[in-house]
Amino acid sequence: MANLFTRIKDTVAADFHELLDQKEQRNPISHVNQYVRECEQEVRRMKHLVEKQYVIKQEISKELNQAKMMLEKRTRQANLAIEANETELHEQASQEQQLFEARVSRLNEINDKTIKELEALEAKYVQMKHKLKDLYVKRMELKNRENIARAHKGMNKVLHADIASKSAAKFSELESYIERIENQVQSDYRLHTLDARFAELEKSVSTSK
């Protein structure tokens, strides 16, 4: 049963991909648009990560500044305790001084690494934005090429020999029809003129009698 479901799933997937391929062949620009949308989403995601990294860098800088302030404070207090011969206070201040020294050293390393990583992210983000712009330009080029190709295809269809001959036959038939109408009009005009002249003649003869 499991194999049957797997075969059905694979068949449906194959049919779906075949439909997508057919759609892309009919409208290749839609495939390009989908790829551009995916790149736009990735650029937005990268922008969010860069902004988040800025926040993290600010938090690290804040902690580093606080640790430096405490280190400076405990160093000053330890020196003051020595001057005042306060051995116990000096030992406590010295212990915290060492802790803050280690913390400042560690935070300096983290801060330096964070700055480098942020610079790398920013550089990659800029490259991605340029890549997206290049995709926009490429899409415009492809749209232009597709439109020109479709225009030529339509023109070639109209200018095809068979259709051209059919069009010529239609025009010839229409021209003959117009000529027949014109001949009929001229004939009717001549008959009307001839009848009018005879009517005038008959009237003149009748008057003279």
Pick the range with the lowest mean pLDDT from 90-99, 103-112, 148-157: 148-157
Beta strands in 25-179 (DSSP E): none
Question: CB–CB of 100/112 below 8 Å?
Answer: no
Predicted structure pTM score: 0.55
Residue 44 pLDDT:
92
Task: Say how far apart CA 36 and CA 42 lie, in whole Å.
Answer: 10
Per-residue pLDDT for 152 more than 90?
no
Query: Which pLDDT tens digit goes with each residue over 113-128?
Result: 999 999 999 999 999 9
pLDDT greater at residue 199 or residue 148: 148
- Copy the structure tokens of residue 48: 């969010």
Rounded alpha-carbon distances, angstroms, from residue 58 to 53, 65, 111, 119, 181 = 9, 10, 9, 14, 92
Per-residue pLDDT for 45 more than 80?
yes
DSSP label at residue 85: T
- Copy the structure tokens of residue 147: 């439109």
Residue 37: how many other CB atoms lie within 10 Å: 10
Residue 16 pLDDT:
44
Pick the range with the lowest mean pLDDT from 9-13, 33-37, 61-65, 199-203: 9-13
DSSP label at residue 160: -
Query: Which pLDDT tens digit goes with each residue over 63-107?
Result: 999 999 999 999 998 899 888 888 898 899 899 999 999 999 999
Task: Say how far apart CA 25 and CA 169 lie, in whole Å.
Answer: 36
Per-residue pLDDT for 133 more than 60?
yes
pLDDT bucket at 48, cuts 50 / 70 / 90: very high
Per-residue pLDDT for 163 more than 60?
no
Q: Phi and psi (nearest 5°) for 54?
A: -60, -40
Helix (H) or strand (E) holding 138: helix 87-158
Q: Positive or negative CA dihedral for 125, 130, 136, 139?
A: negative
Residue 190's closest CA among 180, 202, 198, 178?
Answer: 198
pLDDT bucket at 165, cuts 50 / 70 / 90: low
Rounded alpha-carbon distances, angstroms, from residue 207 to 195, 201, 202 = 18, 10, 9
Q: End-to-end CA distance of the chain: give it in Å, rounded.
A: 119
Residue 160 pLDDT:
61
